[in-house]
């Protein structure tokens, strides 16, 4: 886990930049005026896959989707600076310059709200070892397993435990291994992925869809840091008898956002650009084994109060990504044994899956960062094996690694497999049922959140054959969220009963009040028309049942 911090403050840059130093700056635009792009023609800036994701989940195109205004970018570039990256969600650009006159000229542009220095590149060696909290060891030979498995089961080798622990072997044996799903991996580099035997299946089937380096502005990611290589192997590797990833048949975009030798705020903005790229090319799921709590400049460090899901740029971007219909999986962090033991950004984002780590026996790993978020959301959300996790070595063979960086992709790959099995689910519905399947769902804590999911049980639940749900009434999922002209929710009922359904708006006004019959011993799916509450905003769904009262927050989006 690459740990950073960020103090959110927009400061107008002074002219005191070190002479000749190539510094990175964020240029914040005021609006998206004079744009050649139109909401009515989203195919000009979103791929067909991205648009299909919106259609399936009833998510409207809005101003966040529109690129930054090209004329604004061109005017900034005309001052002689290098435009390194753009962010349409945060509405600005990252520039590289040593010219204080150019910075003054940019600040004076009428559409520029302000500029802020966000990094000065230092010439330091690139080394995975700088993240001392993550350790790598040679993998021991795969132990003999006394288990009963399907004849079609993959030969997992030492990776069996990390996959089976959360129901992944069952899901794979049901035929769901990620085929047709697209995962974007946002990381620090993917050293030697283009040559390693572990990824020959991905290359042979053209399942590495593309690459982009947001740090350097090119497609070259295979000579950079090894961290992303290890992360990718948890999902996409295929070394029979040694390591099989959790989504070996998925396709991948490899996106470098992390400037590994340094610790600077700029990486949060690169992260936002990478997430936007993932959205635009049609990724279904994002894995990010990155996190931000401290920087090289202590004045920019995060405080715990910043971990509210709404402050750090990467956290804001993560929630924007979720609002576009993707599932974002992010490692919780490796600070559990330190004085700062909390999650970092963007794991604090409220609409994503922050993933904590357990050991091979399924117990809390002491290094795994803890919650809650500063606004008291359950964090981490879920957990997977992050201690002694089997990963692929860049020179061949396998290693075991310790870190939530590995727990996140182990879980993320199975998110893609579950979505493959149920492609009409919204991202919110999918995340809800994953949490519902977890072993601590009714008693979440600050160590592992809702606990270890059971993807086998989640698949059965979504297939109408719930498992491990028989002991209590449960509101399983609701959505889409945001919803448009209609919404639905699923409720597991122990007995035959009438449910009292109430929906209230943000003022407490009741907009829906009715009874619905729920059959016992099964998951009931109810569809509701939103004709009675056409105004955009926040609504509360309340379900009163024999087994208790349940609530979900819903957001009404544009039509």
The catalytic residues are 187, 227, 405
Please name the residues in contact with 102: beta carbons below 8 A apart, sequence gap of 6 or more: 79, 80, 81
Q: Give the Cα-Cα-Cα angle 554, 557, 559 (nearest 5 degrees).
A: 140
Q: Which of the 8 DSSP states describes residue 142?
A: P
Task: Name the residue among 294, 271, 410, 414 with its Cα closest to residue 346.
Answer: 271
C-beta separation of 428 from 477 below 8 A? yes
Phi, psi angles (nearest 5°) of residue 244:
-125, 130
Question: DSSP per residue over 430-476, as a string?
Answer: HHHHHHHTSTTTTS-BTTTBT----HHHHHHHHTT--SS-TTS-EEE
- Cα 4 to Cα 294: distance, rounded to the nearest angstrom: 4
Cα–Cα separations (whole angstroms), residue 287 to 37, 162, 413: 29, 17, 9
- Cα 132 to Cα 334: distance, rounded to the nearest angstrom: 10
- Structure tokens of 253? 């975009």
Question: DSSP per residue over 383-413, as a string?
Answer: EEE-SSEEEE-TTSSEEEEESHHHHHHHHHH
**How big is the chain, counted in residues?**
559
Alpha helix (H) residue ranges in 61-136: 70-77, 100-107
Question: DSSP per residue over 21-34, as a string?
Answer: --EEEEEEES--TT
- Cα 410 to Cα 507: distance, rounded to the nearest angstrom: 42
**Three-class DSSP category at 355:** strand
Q: Which of the 8 DSSP states describes residue 18?
A: P
C-beta separation of 427 from 449 below 8 A? no
- Cα 131 to Cα 404: distance, rounded to the nearest angstrom: 12
Question: DSSP per residue over 508-552, as a string?
Answer: --EEEEEEEEE-TTEEEEEEEE-TT--S-EEEEEEEEETTEEEEE
C-beta separation of 443 from 473 below 8 A? no
Please name the residues in contact with 209: beta carbons below 8 A apart, sequence gap of 6 or more: 182, 251, 252, 253, 281
- Structure tokens of 548? 């208790």
- Cα 529 to Cα 515: distance, rounded to the nearest angstrom: 14
């Amino acid at each position: 886990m690459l740990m950073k911090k960020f103090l959110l403050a927009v400061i107008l840059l002074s002219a005191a930049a070190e002479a000749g130093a190539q510094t990175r700056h964020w240029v914040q635009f005021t609006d998206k005026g004079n744009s050649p792009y139109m909401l009515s023609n989203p195919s000009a800036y979103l791929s067909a896959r991205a648009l299909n994701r919106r259609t399936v989940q009833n998510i409207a195109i809005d101003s966040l989707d529109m690129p930054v205004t090209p004329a604004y970018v061109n005017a900034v570039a005309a001052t002689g600076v290098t435009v390194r990256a753009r962010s349409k969600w945060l509405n600005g650009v990252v520039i590289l310059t040593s010219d204080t006159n150019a910075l003054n000229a940019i600040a004076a542009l009428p559409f520029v709200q302000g500029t802020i220095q966000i990094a000065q590149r230092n010439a330091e060696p690139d080394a995975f070892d700088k993240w001392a909290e993550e350790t790598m060891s040679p993998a021991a030979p795969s132990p003999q397993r006394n288990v009963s498995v399907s004849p079609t089961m993959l030969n997992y080798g030492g990776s069996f435990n990390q996959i089976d622990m959360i129901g992944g072997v069952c899901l794979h044996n049901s035929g769901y291994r990620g085929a047709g799903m697209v995962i974007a991996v946002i990381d620090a580099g993917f050293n030697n992925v283009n040559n390693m035997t572990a990824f020959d299946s991905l290359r042979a089937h053209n399942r590495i869809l593309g690459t982009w380096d947001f740090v350097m502005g090119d497609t070259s990611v295979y000579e950079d840091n090894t961290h992303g290589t290890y992360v990718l192997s948890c999902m996409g590797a295929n070394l029979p008898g040694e390591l099989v990833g959790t989504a070996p048949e998925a396709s991948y975009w490899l996106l470098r956002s992390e400037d590994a030798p340094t610790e600077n705020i700029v990486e949060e903005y690169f992260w936002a650009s990478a997430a936007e790229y993932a959205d635009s090319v049609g990724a279904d799921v994002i894995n990010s084994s990155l996190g931000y709590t401290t920087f090289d400049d202590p004045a920019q460090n995060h405080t715990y109060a910043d971990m509210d899901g709404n402050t750090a740029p990467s956290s804001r971007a993560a929630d924007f990504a979720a609002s576009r219909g993707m599932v974002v999986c992010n490692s919780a962090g490796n600070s559990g044994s330190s004085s700062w033991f909390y999650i970092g950004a963007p794991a604090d984002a409220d609409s994503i899956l922050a993933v904590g780590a357990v050991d091979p026996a399924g117990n809390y790993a002491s290094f795994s960062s803890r919650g809650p978020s500063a606004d008291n959301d359950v964090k981490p959300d879920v957990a997977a094996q992050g201690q002694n996790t089997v990963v692929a070595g860049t020179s061949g063979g396998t290693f075991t690694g310790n870190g939530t960086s590995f727990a996140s992709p182990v879980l993320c790959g199975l998110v893609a497999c579950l979505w493959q099995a149920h492609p009409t689910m919204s991202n919110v519905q999918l995340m809800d049922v994953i949490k519902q399947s977890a072993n601590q769902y009714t008693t979440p804590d600050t160590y592992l959140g809702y606990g270890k999911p059971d993807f086998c049980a989640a698949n059965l639940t979504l297939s109408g054959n719930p498992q491990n749900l028989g002991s209590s009434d449960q509101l399983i999922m609701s959505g889409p969220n945001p919803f448009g002209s209609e919404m639905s929710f699923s409720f597991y009922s122990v007995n035959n009963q009438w449910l009292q359904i109430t929906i209230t708006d943000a003022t407490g006004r009741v907009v829906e009040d009715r009874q619905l019959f729920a059959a016992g011993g099964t998951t009931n799916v109810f569809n509701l028309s939103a004709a009675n509450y056409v105004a955009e905003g926040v609504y509360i769904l309340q379900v009163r049942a024999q087994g208790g009262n349940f609530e979900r927050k819903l957001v009404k989006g544009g039509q």
